[in-house]
Structure formats: structure tokens, C-alpha cells
Amino acid sequence: MTPTPAVNTQSVNSQLIDGLVQTLLALSVKEREVLFQRLEEAKARHDIQEKLCQYEEQYGLSSQEFHAQFLSGALGDSEDYIEWAGFYEMLQPSQSVAA
């Protein structure tokens, strides 16, 4: 049986990047602005998710479990907890306020 040749990921990535560049160049200025805004938002969400994972590992609780306990007052108000709650709430869908 002949071994499968290794895929050169660098050339694959280079081809992908070249295709993306061509696509970006075809976008209008407004479309590029929207794209870059969405990329920034996605990066911010990713960074927050990473922070949540760090807290979950550090304290041995899921963010959802932590948040429920935090809101009930069972955990106190350490700086870590306040920051963790803030990050968790930033990723939650907006809740409409009843008028």
C-alpha cells in the first residue's frame, strides 16, 4: 500500500489567502468597512470567550453555573467575580426592556 502524500499546508493556506485577497479587492469601500467591523466584533467575542474559559478552569464552574450563583449572592463580590460576570453578560443576547 502506497502512503498518502503529505499535504503542504503552507501552500494550501497561501492559496486560501490569495483567494481572500481577491475577494476583498472586489468589495466596495462600504462592504469592506462592514467586513472589518464584523471581524473586530468577532475578535472581541473570541477574546471574551477565552477569558470565560480561563475563569471556568480556574474556579471549576461553568460560566452559566457561576453567574447563577453570583446573582444569588452566594459567591461574594471579588474583583475576579465581578469581571467574570461582566464578561459573561457581554456575551448574552440583549434582553428587551418592557416599557
Which of these, 39, 44, 52, lies nearest to 80 by C-alpha position? 52
Classify residue 48: in a domain, yes or no. Answer: yes
Report the number of distinct structural domains present in the chain. Answer: 1
pTM of the predicted protein model: 0.69
> Is residue 3 very low, low, confident or very high in pLDDT (cuts 50, 70, 90)?
low
Residue 86: inside a domain, yes or no? yes
Q: For 76, left (φ over 0), alpha (ψ -120 to 50), or beta?
A: left
Determine the pLDDT at residue 13. 84
69, part of any domain: yes
The 10s digit of each residue's pLDDT in 22-69 is 998 899 999 999 999 999 999 999 999 999 999 999 999 999 999 999
* 1 assigned to some structural domain: no
